[in-house]
Structure 1
Amino acid sequence: MKDRHRIVVLGAGYTGMMATVRLARRTRRLGTRITLVNPSARFTERLRMHQIAAGQELADHRIPELLAGTGVTFVEGRATAIDLRARGVTVDVGRPEPAVLPYDTLVYALGSGTDTRRVPGAAEHAATLDDPRAAHGLATRFAELAVTGGDVTVCGGGLTGVEAAAEIAESHPGLRVTLVSRNEPGAMMGERARAHLHRSLNRLGVTVRAGVTVTEVLPDAVALAGGERLPSGLTLWTTGVRAPGLAAESGLATDDRGLVVVDAGLRSVSHPEVYAIGDAAAVRQGWGQIHGTCQSGLPTAQHAADAIVRGLRGRRVKPFRFGYVHQPVSLGRRDAVIQFTHADDSPRRWYLRGTWAVRYKEMVSGSPLTLYRLSRRVNVSARLSRGGRATRRPAEPAAVSDAPLATGADR
């Protein structure tokens, strides 16, 4: 059928997969044709990358299996260009001639990666948790280094850095693990939850160096402001966010961090036929801008899918509303802390620690796959909170930048 509405989703991470399976179910009687593009056929659980790096074997989830029965076409390849005028995506599929996928609606869900460009030597000498293959390689290196009692430095005191430092220290007691951060780890949490986090890091033998700035990463050390050098047999970089350049290079309006600027319905402000979701999008609420987490990403995917369906049916697209609920942090396999939050991610009084927090965190980490499987059969909500009064205020528009790429902050 020539008149079938063509939807192309770029990226099969947490948000891209959610948008795809929800679209497949909700458009099954509308005659749409949905294509999902991703460089690998393996679904990457980014919430568990620190576990892979620590040497743990995780389940191997395949994207075609997750899409079974949905009618979605999966294309294994990397999107290299978007022709916004002709509405086509060029995809490198490993053959001499790239594939060109025409679209009527595009869902941009390419996410982000760790920015190693801000500090000299980070790109050359530090590892990241962006790629599962690299994480498997890290597991081998950590094991080898532990035999000789080597030094490991984790740069970045955000949630990713804290989880990685704890996991590595617990899995390899022979390593000397140092967590280096400009800010206090757990600074976004309440006092009691933060105190538990620090007690757990201390119990695991992690040395915390807060309030310091890394000026250079060397092959065998990390240089700090003031001239101090920390010996480091392996440096893990977890701070800073790098947006892919594809959006800006293609002509989509982006902000000063390279994120696609969207309106209240998550459509590109420059090209309304493009929806941007997850941490590839600059999504603003009345209380401020959303930061990239799975907790906020899945609801953007759900909303975009529903908005596309409403548009196909000639109905008005509703504004996106979201509020944070929690900050779940694993501290190895036997401990965790959960800070419950207000809509703007500021801490509430309540928090959870110990065994129940471990179970809670595991439920959170495993929930996306459960949502995908359920969403193939029924409409399941991925949004825990709409934010209440905090999201009823109109959001301030994001500033649009001509810069193709920029940096962000810790997860």
Structure 2
Amino acid sequence: MSNQSTTKEHVLVVGAGYAGLRAALNLAPHVRVTLIDPADRFTERVRLHEKATGRPDVTHSLRTFLRPAGITHIPALISRIDTASAEVHTDTGRVLGYDRLVYALGSRTAGVGGPGASHERVYTAESAAELHKRLLDGPGSLAVVGGGLTGIELATELAEFQPRWQVQLITGGEIAPSVSDKARAHIRSVLVDRGVRIEEHRRVDGPQDIDADVVVWSASMIPNTELAIASGLDVDARGQIRVNSALRSVSHPGIYVAGDAAAAQTPSSGPIRMACATALPLGAHAAASVVRDLRGEDPKPLQFSYKAQCISLGRHDGMIQLVREDDSPRDLCLTGKPAAMVKEQVVRNTVRTLRVASRSPRAAGLLPGN
């Protein structure tokens, strides 16, 4: 896309996560962009397990991304999307019109309440700061529920930095079902070396079924699409917004969807899973589709395929699983400290990509992983 502004149209981007921020930055050279999010900081969600063990901060000022791009930030929650009038209503009483809207409210841990939910002894990745404070109160028993990559990262990180706590990992199936046998064996070995007790093939209905002083719930993710549903957008069985290959809502053509809220898929990848690694390219594609749409051109279909799955296993170990285009695992994987170093660079590159996009969206597209 050209860096020359081609229209004066106004695009609202709802949500300042990986997908929303990338979409806003890529749109900025072409249209007037307003980003709506109650927070004034961008959170590195993929580092929340580190926040739980005492990393000082995993956020960055939104201003440092938005100011160079000329994007207006409104710190508010959207209470209603009036699709008939192409307006959004915020909790502060403001009403904003739009020519196109990008819905990028992401996802959250399912099963224990809304974003940042923290109950008497139950925590999620979103409540990592509260979890860290609880762990400082003294040793006890801690159960991580969920044997996917997020749950494994939490269990290994917590066991490494809180060795006085008795950590267990509970999952309804086998741990790390998305990786190869070799990679799974390495993950299992690291967990055991950290003193984590693994309980596979144990299904629980909720935190109330867990006998532990602290429960860290990481069983599944759910899209934040309640606002979309209330506004009449068509969603699938998982609650994700149905979109076409341009990431345009199939029921409301003035709305595009980026990141975890989108029921996106491609012929090579199949349905695209919720992840930071998918949010950035989906945000970029949503922006490109909006620009072509406003120019009167047909948006190009989404092209996406998987290359690898990355997981940190504490600060000094990790696993990089090479995968096929449809995310199924290959036999080749990298483990140990070299994998931890690669994973760290992958995580750092997400912020690098966003910083470059604030100044040159085309250059950001040339960075690895984009």
Same fold by TM (over 0.5)?
Answer: yes
> Alignment identity in percent?
37
Alignment check: 8 A CA contact 2:121 2:213 kept: no
CA–CA distance in 1 between the matches of 2:119 and 2:261? 21
| Equivalent position of 1:66 in the other structure | 65
2:361 equivalent to 1:381: no
2:239 equivalent to 1:258: yes
Comparing 287-296 with 204-213, greater Cα deviation is found at 287-296
Instruction: Give matches, 1:71-82, under 5 Å.
Output: 71-82=70-81
Instruction: Give matches, 1:1-400, under 5 Å.
Output: 4-25=8-29, 27=30, 32-58=31-57, 60-93=59-92, 98-116=93-111, 125-130=121-126, 134-146=127-139, 150-218=140-208, 223=209, 230-244=210-224, 245-286=226-267, 287-378=269-360, 379=362, 380-381=364-365
Shift of 1:123: 6.8
Aligned residue type for 1:145: G
| Equivalent position of 1:408 in the other structure | none
TM-score of the two chains, using structure 1 as the length reference: 0.83
Shift of 1:258: 1.4
Alignment check: 8 A CA contact 1:324 1:385 kept: no
CA gap of 1:382–1:373, structure 2 versus 1, over 3 A, is same
Shift of 1:58: 2.7
Shift of 1:151: 0.2
Shift of 1:60: 4.0
CA gap of 1:385–1:165, structure 2 versus 1, over 3 A, is closer
Alignment check: 8 A CA contact 2:292 2:299 kept: yes
CA gap of 1:125–1:80, structure 2 versus 1, over 3 A, is farther
CA–CA distance in 2 between the matches of 1:236 and 1:340? 28
Aligned residue type for 1:129: A
CA–CA distance in 2 between the matches of 1:232 and 1:326? 34
CA–CA distance in 2 between the matches of 1:16 and 1:382? 19
Alignment check: 8 A CA contact 1:157 1:185 kept: yes
SS of structure 2 residue aligned to 1:364: helix
Alignment check: 8 A CA contact 1:341 1:348 kept: yes
Alignment check: 8 A CA contact 1:322 1:383 kept: no
SS of structure 2 residue aligned to 1:69: helix
Aligned residue type for 1:335: D
Alignment check: 8 A CA contact 2:69 2:359 kept: no
SS of structure 2 residue aligned to 1:214: coil
Shift of 1:365: 1.1
CA–CA distance in 1 between the matches of 2:329 and 2:194? 25
Shift of 1:372: 1.2
Structure 1 gap segments, 5+ residues each: 224-229, 387-411
CA–CA distance in 1 between the matches of 2:142 and 2:321? 27
Alignment check: 8 A CA contact 1:302 1:382 kept: no
SS of structure 2 residue aligned to 1:340: strand
Shift of 1:217: 2.3
User: Where has structure 1 moved over 3 Å in runs of 4 or more?
Assistant: 122-125, 382-386
CA–CA distance in 2 between the matches of 1:217 and 1:373? 39
Comparing 307-316 with 43-52, greater Cα deviation is found at 307-316
CA gap of 1:123–1:139, structure 2 versus 1, over 3 A, is closer
Shift of 1:376: 2.5
Aligned residue type for 1:84: T
SS of structure 2 residue aligned to 1:268: coil
SS of structure 1 residue aligned to 2:205: strand
| Equivalent position of 2:4 in the other structure | none
Structure 2 gap segments, 5+ residues each: 1-6
Q: CA RMSD in A?
A: 1.9
CA gap of 1:291–1:60, structure 2 versus 1, over 3 A, is closer
SS of structure 2 residue aligned to 1:68: helix
- How many residue pairs match? The answer is 356
Alignment check: 8 A CA contact 2:44 2:59 kept: no
Shift of 1:207: 0.7
CA–CA distance in 2 between the matches of 1:194 and 1:373? 35
Alignment check: 8 A CA contact 1:11 1:37 kept: yes
SS of structure 1 residue aligned to 2:341: helix
SS of structure 2 residue aligned to 1:306: helix
